[in-house]
Amino acid sequence: MDNVGIVVDDLKAAVAFFAELGMELEGEAELEGSTPDRMLGLDGVRSAIAMMRTPDGHGKLELTTFHAPEAVAAQPAVPPPHTLGLHRVMFAVDDIDDTITRLRPHGAELLGEVARYGNAYRLCNLRGPAGIIVALAEEIG
């Protein structure tokens, strides 16, 4: 797998959110013309992307905002976590409580609560940029 793509309405805020999780900005670009039009099956695509990578370089997120055509909101706008096709991205963290605290100023909201999975992990799901679900896992065992 090369990367996971996420469409966001505020690229700068999404970059800040994932940077707070420890991801690094690899690069940014403006895209338009026949290549993105053909790839996406849309006409007149103008978008900006930011490629974020995990510190180990093995994982990447491509954050995209569309200038044209206007992005379409999911229905409902904030779908519940059991919606078919809903995407979730999980990150391993050293301290789940500290990570939640650092992400709250970036708009993160817990979906439920931090739960313990046996003696192995503490886990939670947050609502992140553009309503996506960001899961956190802290290894404890």
Give the start-to-end residue ranges of the domains of the chain.
Answer: 4-68, 88-139
State the residue for tokens 């909201």. 109
Helical spans, DSSP H, in the chain = 11-20, 34-40, 96-103
Q: What is the pLDDT of residues 29-44, one digit of tens each?
A: 999 999 999 999 999 9
According to DSSP, residue 59 is labeled -
CATH topology of domain 88-139: 2,3-Dihydroxybiphenyl 1,2-Dioxygenase; domain 1 (3.10.180)
Above 90 in pLDDT, residue 100?
yes
- The pLDDT score that the predictor gives to residue 82 is 81
Computed over every residue of the chain, the mean pLDDT equals 93
Q: What is the pLDDT of residues 54-95, one digit of tens each?
A: 999 999 999 999 999 999 888 887 888 888 777 789 999 999
> What is the spatial order of strands in the sheet that 46-53 belongs to?
4-7, 60-68, 46-53, 24-32
Is the domain defined by 4-68 classed in CATH 3.30.70.2190? no
